[in-house]
Amino acid sequence: EAGVVQSPRYKIIEKKQPVAFWCNPISGHNTLYWYLQNLGQGPELLIRYENEEAVDDSQLPKDRFSAERLKGVDSTLKIQPAELGDSAVYLCASSGRLAGGPNEQFFGPGTRLTVL
């Protein structure tokens, strides 16, 4: 079974430039999450989707961050304009009810963003 796919794996941009991250969740998983992970910290939730609906975006800085999940499958996370403090790893995760199992989240490898 293919895991969560993210691209690009690494991105270096100058401040004030826009940047976008893409995520393809595990097939059949209807819940998709975007997390931010700063160095030495655990992942912090930015937004959670149930199918195409954003059910929790309370931690998403909406002045510069936006996300979409068209058709309830792939998702993109955008930052415009990027700031120096946005340098971090952006993780995508997905989950779906498995028969008899917990609804644990499966993470992609992340995109490491460096803003210069």
Partner 1 sequence: DQQVKQNSPSLSVQEGRISILNCDYTNSMFDYFLWYKKYPAEGPTFLISISSIKDKNEDGRFTVFLNKSAKHLSLHIVPSQPGDSAVYFCAASLGGSQGNLIFGKGTKLSVKP
- The residue ranges that bind partner 1 (CB under 8 A) are 4, 31, 33, 40-45, 48, 56, 91, 93, 95, 102-110
Choose between 56 and 68: whose C-beta lies nearer to partner 1. Answer: 56
DSSP state of 81: S
CB of 94 to partner 1, least distance (A): 11
How close are the terminal C-alpha atoms of the chain, in Å?
37
Choose between 65 and 90: whose C-beta lies nearer to partner 1. Answer: 90
116: nearest Cα among 89, 83, 90: 83
Q: With contact defined as beta carbons under 8 Å apart, do 87 and 114 qualify?
A: yes
Choose between 63 and 104: whose C-beta lies nearer to partner 1. Answer: 104
HSE, side-chain direction, 13 A CA sphere, residue 77: 32
> Which residue has 């992970």 as its token pair?
37
